[in-house]
């Protein structure tokens, strides 16, 4: 039985979600060339599924592709909608066909590249862009996308060649985009003597792309595809204290003296803020919705746990103000990158939340009770944690990177030393790839 037959069988049994997952595996982008009949059949099954799971307007778009599989506009429209719905892998398949039919359409190519970029297929995006030099020559956004995806593929020479042309022209966002590429190149030059910038240098490339520092590298599966990130992790008080100690060392290398700790209105953030205030012997100030401009350290457990207005209030740099987020999700883009973060995760459970453990008696997985003690008690207990001897083993390597970056000038300076402008967004793509849950 073929995958599409399995999908139809699941539909007949009323399992539309199961059918969708099966069809998604069929329609997921690959470099293969589709036979027209196979393409139509796959999208036909997808149309049946979307009639159940999606709205009428979206389903009509899918059906337009089924009826007219060589209609570039229909393919572009459904590709755009799929991308907006968080399905870049399906969007890329529709857009790839549109690109094959209209290879010189910059709009189609750029949308396809955006989908591939979101999938982490930056090298493939570069391959497609380089294959259309006429488009690159005449379309500003295409040039920018090539420069950006080249950096995300650890290629620094291509953006160097493109930078001058990116700094010219009248594109609407030209200054912002050109500045982004120039800053990445400047940061790469600044740290090249202390950071390998190879396929596993997560800390170095995070600095190049965002100007921010990554404090802790996961040791699990490092050489089996994780490269320093966590997939599933249950955070611990040990790791929280390690983050605080590494943060302290990082601030020292940048010669940053912290006059106060800002506590954000989220329980985990308040716990870490109280722990930091105790550790550094400085006052604790509770963050207001309007924000603060005074120097100090803004302590967050995880920026993704904060409400929208609070995120808006921490987007801007201010002199002497540093934003630290202990945990950061690496599989989704985010509007704000913390100046310093402890670790990257795909799925994380905070130490004071319910966590999974194996019962030693029954050997069954069970969930622990959340820690309901007040924030001050947990913060004090956290600082009493005894770290393993190897927990801080690579701090000298971290310090060397921070010290070198802190002595740079202009566009290469660390985000933690910036005094104005918005913080960089966090990309869901990176020059260092990691395995992830589907």
pLDDT single digits (tens) 70-91: 999 999 999 999 999 999 999 9
pLDDT digits (tens, 9 = 90+) for 153-179: 999 999 999 999 999 988 889 999 999
Percent of the chain at pLDDT > 90 equals: 94
Q: What is the pLDDT of residue 103?
A: 98
**Residue 67 pLDDT > 70:** yes
Q: Give the per-residue pLDDT at 32.
A: 84
> Distance between alpha carbon 111 and the CA centroid of its chain, in Å?
19
When pLDDT is averaged across residues 225-250 and rounded to a whole number, the result is 97
Task: Write the CB contacts of 171 (distance below 8 Å, at least 6 apart in sequence).
Answer: 140, 141, 177
pLDDT tens for each residue of 271-298 = 999 999 999 999 999 999 899 999 999 9
Least confident interval from 53-57, 197-201, 401-405: 53-57
CA atoms within 13 A on the CB side of 253: 23
- Contact at 8 Å (CB) between 50 and 41? no
pLDDT category at 361 given cuts 50, 70, 90 is confident
Task: Please determine, for residue 235, whether its predicted confidence score (pLDDT) is greater than 70.
Answer: yes
What gap in Å lies between CA 159 and CA 307, rounded to an integer? 36
What gap in Å lies between CA 20 and CA 85, rounded to an integer?
Answer: 14
Task: Tell the residue number behind the tokens 């004090």, with chain if given.
Answer: 380
Residues 238 and 381 sit within 8 Å (Cβ to Cβ)? no
Task: Work out the mean pLDDT of the chain and round it to a whole number.
Answer: 96
Q: pLDDT tier at 27 (50, 70, 90 boundaries)?
A: very high
The mean pLDDT of 103-115, rounded to a whole number, is 98
The span from the CA of 358 to the CA of 113, in Å, is: 44
Q: Is 163 exposed, middle or buried (0-12, 13-18, 19+ CB in 10 A)?
A: middle
Taking the CA atoms of residue 394, residue 400, residue 401 and residue 405 in that order, the dihedral angle to the nearest 10 degrees is: 160
Closest CA to 262 of 299, 309, 289, 237: 299
Q: Is the pLDDT of residue 358 over 70?
A: yes
Mean pLDDT of 379-402: 97
**Whether the predicted pLDDT of 363 surpasses 90:** no
Comparison of pLDDT for 377 and 436, the residue scoring more: 377
Max CA distance (Å), the chain = 70
Query: Within 13 Å and on the Cβ side, how many CA atoms surround 259?
Result: 7
Among residues 83, 88, 326, 323, which one has the least CA distance to residue 210? 323
> Directed axis angle between helix 237-253 and helix 375-383, to 10°?
70
- In the predicted structure, residue 384 carries a pLDDT above the cut 70: yes
3-state SS of 68-113 is: CCCCHHHHHHHHHHHHHCCCHHHHHHHHHHHHHHCCCCHHHHHHHH
Which is it for strands 296-302 and 261-263: parallel, antiparallel or unpaired?
parallel
- Under the banding of pLDDT at 50, 70 and 90, the label for residue 12 is very high
Q: Kindly report, residue by residue over 172-220, the tens digit of the pLDDT.
A: 899 999 999 999 999 999 999 999 999 999 999 999 999 999 999 999 9
């Amino acid at each position: 039985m073929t995958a599409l037959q399995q999908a139809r069988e699941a539909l007949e049994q009323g399992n539309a979600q199961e059918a969708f997952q099966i069809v998604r595996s069929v329609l997921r982008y690959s470099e293969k060339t589709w036979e027209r009949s196979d393409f139509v059949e796959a999208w036909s099954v997808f149309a049946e599924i979307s009639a159940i799971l999606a709205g009428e307007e979206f389903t009509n778009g899918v059906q337009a592709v089924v009826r007219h599989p060589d209609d570039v506009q229909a393919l572009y429209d459904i590709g755009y909608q799929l991308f907006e719905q968080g399905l870049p892998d399906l969007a890329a398949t529709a857009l790839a066909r549109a690109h094959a039919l209209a290879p010189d359409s910059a709009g189609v190519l750029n949308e396809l590249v955006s989908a591939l970029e979101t999938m982490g297929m930056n090298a493939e995006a570069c391959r497609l862009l380089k294959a259309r030099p006429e488009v690159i020559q005449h379309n500003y956004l295409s040039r920018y996308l090539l420069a950006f995806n080249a950096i995300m593929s650890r290629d620094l020479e291509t953006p160097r060649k493109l930078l001058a042309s990116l700094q010219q022209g009248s594109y609407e966002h030209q200054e912002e985009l050109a500045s982004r590429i120039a800053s990445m190149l400047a940061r790469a030059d600044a740290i090249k003597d202390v950071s390998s910038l190879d396929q596993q240098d997560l800390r170095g490339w995070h600095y190049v792309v965002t100007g921010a520092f990554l404090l802790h590298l996961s040791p699990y599966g490092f050489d089996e595809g994780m490269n320093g990130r966590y997939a599933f992790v249950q955070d611990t008080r040990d790791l929280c204290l390690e983050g605080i100690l590494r943060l302290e060392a990082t601030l020292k290398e940048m010669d940053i003296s912290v006059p106060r700790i800002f506590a954000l209105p989220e329980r985990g953030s308040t716990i870490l803020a109280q722990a930091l205030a105790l550790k550094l012997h400085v006052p604790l100030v509770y963050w207001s919705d309007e924000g603060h401009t005074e120097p100090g350290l803004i302590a967050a457990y995880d920026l993704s746990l904060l409400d929208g207005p609070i995120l808006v209030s921490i987007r801007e740099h201010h002199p002497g103000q540093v934003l630290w987020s202990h945990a950061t999700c690496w599989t989704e883009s985010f509007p704000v990158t913390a100046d310093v973060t402890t670790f990257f995760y795909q799925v994380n459970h905070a130490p004071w939340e319910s966590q999974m453990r194996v019962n030693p008696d029954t050997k069954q997985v069970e969930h622990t009770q959340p820690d309901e003690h007040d924030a001050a008690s947990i913060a004090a207990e956290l600082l009493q944690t005894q770290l393993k001897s190897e927990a801080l083993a690579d701090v000298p390597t971290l310090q060397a990177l921070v010290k070198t970056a802190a002595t740079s000038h202009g566009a290469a300076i660390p985000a933690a030393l910036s005094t104005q402008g918005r913080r960089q967004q966090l990309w869901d793509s990176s020059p260092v790839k990691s395995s992830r849950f589907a």
